[in-house]
Amino acid sequence: MSTIIETDRLILRELATEDAREIYNLNQDPEVVKYVKSSPFESIDDARVFLEGYDRYKKEGMGRWACIIKETNEFIGWCGLIMEESGDVDLGFRLYRKNWGNGYATEAAKACLKYGFEELGLKRIVASALAENKASINVIEKLGMTFVKYFEIPEEEEHNGGKEGALYALEKED
Ligand SMILES: CC(C)(COP(=O)(O)OP(=O)(O)OC[C@H]1O[C@@H](n2cnc3c(N)ncnc32)[C@H](O)[C@@H]1OP(=O)(O)O)[C@@H](O)C(=O)NCCC(=O)NCCS
């Protein structure tokens, strides 16, 4: 499994089908998926099918990457960059609850921004979160991203449709 990014405490590597159980378990915690748009996987097999079909690394040269604690080899969640339909590149992160509050999301996300600008040559990266998702907004603001606007989460999303989202962006020159 190829390492993409290394930080002080973390390795970010491509997700693989072997991560199906972790991805399934991660999304089973209602607190973890409270502010996200999609439903948890129904089974580990569903997570495996998702990972088998996950072709963003090949197609876009980026994606959500597994976050692994270097010292213990523990899988703590994911962080990464994806190309949205609008053409914007979006930064996102999701960690097991037991790993919250240790600065891991900020550390991983900061490294993803650097990778996006310096290695992928991106000019702009966006991030969005439900306005009520204080932890996520806090991470985004700690990264130095600038508030762009509030927007409504589309009603057709599986979860949180109709709620208020906050969009942030960072330009390379910032
Ligand atoms: C968002 C998430 C990745 C943050 O992970 P993390 O490793 O705990 O983040 P960090 O420790 O780097 O930073 C979190 C910051 O938010 C703060 N924070 C956490 N919960 C908070 C809350 N309820 N209200 C206000 N601030 C809060 C922390 O104190 C910290 O700021 P500080 O360093 O100034 O103290 C994690 O909470 C998570 O996985 N949530 C569920 C998935 C999710 O919502 N993802 C984002 C979708 S947009």
Residue among 5, 139, 128, 144 at smallest CA distance from 62: 5
- Which tens digit of pLDDT belongs to each residue from 115-131? 999 999 999 999 999 99
The answer to whether the beta carbons of residues 59 and 82 sit under 8 Å apart is no
135 alpha carbon – ligand 1 mean position (Å)? 3
Tell me the average pLDDT of the chain.
Answer: 96
149 alpha carbon – ligand 1 mean position (Å)? 20
Pocket of ligand 1 (CB under 6 A): 32, 35-36, 93-95, 100-106, 129, 133-136, 138-139
- Whose C-alpha lies nearest to ligand 1, atom 34? 138
- Which tens digit of pLDDT belongs to each residue from 52-89? 999 999 999 999 999 999 999 999 999 999 999 999 99
Residue 97 has pLDDT above 80, yes or no: yes
Range of the domain at 75: 3-171
95 alpha carbon – ligand 1 mean position (Å)? 9
- Whose C-alpha lies nearest to ligand 1, atom 12? 103
CATH number at residue 34: 3.40.630.30
What pLDDT is stored for residue 38 in this prediction? 82
Query: What number is the average pLDDT over the span 20-43?
Result: 95
Residue among 137, 94, 138, 92 at smallest CA distance from 112: 92
CA within 13 Å, CB half, 67: 28
Where residue 157 falls among pLDDT bands split at 50, 70, 90? confident
Read out DSSP for 55-104? Answer: -HHHHHS--EEEEEETTTTEEEEEEEEEE-TTS-EEEEEEE-GGGTTSSH
Mutate which of 31, 81, 95, 151 to test ligand 1's pocket (most atoms within 8 Å of Cβ)? 95
The pTM score is 0.96
Residue 1 has pLDDT above 80, yes or no: no
Domain count, the chain: 1
What pLDDT is stored for residue 174 in this prediction? 78
The answer to whether the beta carbons of residues 115 and 4 sit under 8 Å apart is yes
All residues at 6 or more sequence positions from 69 whose CB lies less than 8 Å from its CB, including other chains: 9, 10, 76
